[in-house]
Amino acid sequence: MEANPDSKPIDLAESEVAQLDVILEPLPRPAGDTKVDLKPSELLIGDVGDETADPPRPARPGYVTGDVTRAQIQHTVQRIIQAARPT
């Protein structure tokens, strides 16, 4: 991805954060925990939303809305991967 000159910043961010979907597998939720239907990558990438959609899709802060930077994504992914590696 990094070597491809046609890659866009969003492509790079999505490929980096997609690693979290593999590492952070869904676990059974404890009683009282709220259900989140989104993958970790979807949370970090965010969504600009679409109020005209049916049903309306609210905006969700993340990379595409400018609330999360690629450097923050890289740092988060790196920390999680390091913690997940056996020592």
- For residue 44, is it within any domain? yes
Give the structural domain span for 46: 9-26+36-84
- For residue 66, is it within any domain? yes
Q: Give the three-state DSSP class for 50.
A: strand
This prediction has a pTM of 0.70
Model pLDDT, residue 20:
84
Q: Which two tokens stand for residue 51?
A: 């109020």
The DSSP code for 57 is: B
Residue listed under structure tokens 């994504």: 73
- For residue 78, is it within any domain? yes
Percent of the chain predicted with pLDDT > 70: 84
pLDDT bucket at 66, cuts 50 / 70 / 90: very high
- For residue 74, is it within any domain? yes
pLDDT in tens, 31-65: 777 776 788 888 889 999 999 989 999 999 999 99
Our count of domains for the chain comes to: 1
